[in-house]
Amino acid sequence: MINKNSKIFVAGHKGLVGSAIIRKLISQGYKNILFEKRKHLDLTNQSQVLNYIKKKKPEFIFIAAAKVGGILSNYKYKADYIYDNLMIQTNIINSAYKIGIKKLIFLGSSCVYPKNCKQPIKESYLLDGKLEETNDAYAIAKIAGIKMCQSYNDQFGTKYLCLMPTNTFGPNDNYDVLNSHFVPSLIKKIYEIKIKSKKSIKIWGDGSPRREIIYVDDIADACIYFMKKNVRENLINIGTGRDKTIKQYTDLFIKTLCPNLKINIKFDKKKPNGVLRKVLDVSLAKKYGWKSKCDIKSSIIHTYENYSNLLK
Ligand SMILES: NC(=O)c1ccc[n+]([C@@H]2O[C@H](COP(=O)([O-])OP(=O)(O)OC[C@H]3O[C@@H](n4cnc5c(N)ncnc54)[C@H](OP(=O)(O)O)[C@@H]3O)[C@@H](O)[C@H]2O)c1
């Protein structure tokens, strides 16, 4: 069982989720946290990963390292997405097994589920239909990670657990134009409105698709919670279980971040909408006593402040 002195390796410590896990571990009093600069430890390199894990001997691992990006990047660089993700997760999971680590958390993503699956999405829908073509290479890599954890659990009796977060946002997100997800690109557009005194904002699609979003501190909380928890299943969805339209999110972000400005929302209907609805069924996480706690408005404000501080 993990305790405040356990040796814990966080892979991907500089990323959105990894950095939140580190903040949460420190705030909860965990004292023995391992992380390594990418220039000293390339997680796609099998021998480097095995040597590092053999030398440092962590007792628990959070795998928050991955190649992650938005639709365009996923579509354009499929080879990078499948190679990097397969290598990172395979190297870490197998090295963990080799030194006898019984419990790790592997982070997947809601895009592992079939494109047209029923909503809200239950864990049991995995491999029940065709994937979204734009990010199928990424999704297949993540599914391989889930199956790898499951297979090691079945064959070797490990307790490797896969958490599937919904769209996540927060400090240290990726704001690259081609690479970013819906929330960081909205934050960036609102920042530009404020700085350049613009009067309108342009959103991809017609604003009608429904999405679920979650603040990264909730994801970090779930990761630590489930690292401590004994669960029978191998795969657990992590989300709020609530969705809104893209238009409603845009209104909410504008109202929260610039309540005194009158902003006209324009929709770029030539851009794709994507699937009409994507929301996770989070009843399994709830059954184990976990639910999201972060307040949406303060999460938006905190994320915005973090972004604007990056630009100072
Ligand atoms: N963001 C979301 O909305 C979301 C939603 C659902 C699930 N997830 C999952 O959560 C996990 C973390 O996502 P994230 O959003 O935190 O991604 P992120 O911000 O891009 O962070 C990923 C981290 O992995 C590191 N990394 C990548 N390749 C590496 C390599 N070869 N060697 C060493 N480090 C490497 C990156 O290092 P650099 O900083 O050097 O690039 C980065 O720190 C992923 O598995 C993702 O699928 C994310």
* Whole-number pLDDT of residue 122: 98
Q: Quote the CA–CA distance of 202 and 183 in Å, as a whole number.
A: 13
The total number of residues shown for the chain amounts to: 312
Neighbours of 130 (CB within 10 A): 10
pLDDT at 289: 98
User: Is 272 part of a structural domain of the chain?
Assistant: no
CA of 65 relative to ligand 1 center, distance in Å: 4
Please indicate whether residue 95, judged by its CB atom, sits closer than 6 Å to ligand 1: no
Tally of domains in the chain: 1
How far is residue 216's CA from residue 220's CA, in Å, rounded to a whole number?
A: 6
Residue 3 in any domain: the answer is no
- Note the pLDDT of residue 148: 98
Q: What is the CATH number of the domain that holds 74?
A: 3.40.50.720
Query: Is the beta carbon of 36 within 6 A of some atom in ligand 1?
Result: no
Rounded distance between C-alpha atoms, residue 265 and residue 203, angstroms: 7
**Ligand 1: nearest atom to the Cα of 43:** 32
Amino acid type, 308: S
- Separation CA 282–CA 50 (nearest Å): 35
> What is the distance between the alpha carbons of residues 37 and 300, in angstroms, rounded to a whole number?
29
Range of the domain at 49: 8-173+214-241+278-294
181 lines ligand 1 (CB under 6 A): yes
| In a domain? residue 237 | yes
Which listed residue (30, 52, 81, 138) is catalytic? 138
Q: Helices marked H in 229-268 — which ranges?
A: 246-257
- Taking residue 219's Cβ as centre, other Cβ atoms within 10 Å add up to 26
In a domain, 248, yes or no: no
Asked if residue 93 belongs to a domain, the reply is yes
Tens of pLDDT along the chain (312 residues) come to 899 999 999 999 999 999 999 999 999 999 999 999 999 999 999 999 999 999 999 999 999 999 998 888 898 999 999 999 999 999 999 999 999 999 999 999 999 999 999 999 999 999 999 999 989 999 999 999 999 999 999 999 999 999 999 999 999 998 886 667 889 999 999 999 999 888 899 998 999 999 999 999 999 999 999 999 999 999 999 999 999 999 999 999 999 999 988 999 999 998 878 888 999 999 999 999 999 999 999 999 999 999 999 888
Distance from the CA of 46 to the center of ligand 1, in angstroms? 18
Q: Give the pLDDT of residue 130.
A: 96
The amino acid present at 103, given as its one-letter code, is K
Per the domain annotation, does 75 fall within a domain?
yes
Residue 304 in any domain: the answer is: no
138 noted as active-site residue: yes
Q: What is the pLDDT of residue 243?
A: 97
Q: Tell me the helix, strand and coil percentages in the chain, rounded to 5.
A: 45, 15, 40
Q: What is the pLDDT of residue 178?
A: 66
Q: How far is the CA of 269 from the centre of ligand 1 (A)?
A: 30
Residue 139 within a domain: yes
CA distances 6 to 108, 234, 312, Å, are 24, 23, 37
Distance 64 CA to ligand 1 centre (A): 6
CB distance 246 to 207 below 8 Å: yes
- Whether 257 and 304 have beta carbons less than 8 Å apart is answered as yes
